[in-house]
Amino acid sequence: IDLYNNKRITDKGVEILLKGTKLKRLYLQGCSDITNAVSDAIVKYGSSLEYLDLYRCDQITFSGIRNII
């Protein structure tokens, strides 16, 4: 799913999306309200993800990325 530059999507929204689907690709590039909290949801519910784009999600730090990988 492509949520490119979506200024309204939140960490909770991504969690709900991942919880209810088996996404293979998730594009969050430029989603400015996404934080490190989304990494917990990705780890917990995103096991089917094969591609994840977090480019320009400026509130996600190295710690959040490290949690995912």
Q: Using CB atoms within 10 A of its CB, is residue 30 exposed (0-12), middle (13-18) or buried (19+)?
A: middle
Along the 69 residues of the chain, how does pLDDT read in single tens digits?
999 999 999 999 999 999 989 999 999 999 999 999 999 999 999 999 999 999 999 999 999 999 998
- Calculate the alpha carbon distances from 30 to 4, 20, 47, 48, 49 in Å: 6, 23, 22, 22, 19
Report pLDDT for 66.
96
The rounded distance, in Å, linking the Cα atoms of 36 and 38 is: 5
pTM of the model: 0.89
Report pLDDT for 59.
95
The rounded distance, in Å, linking the Cα atoms of 14 and 42 is: 8
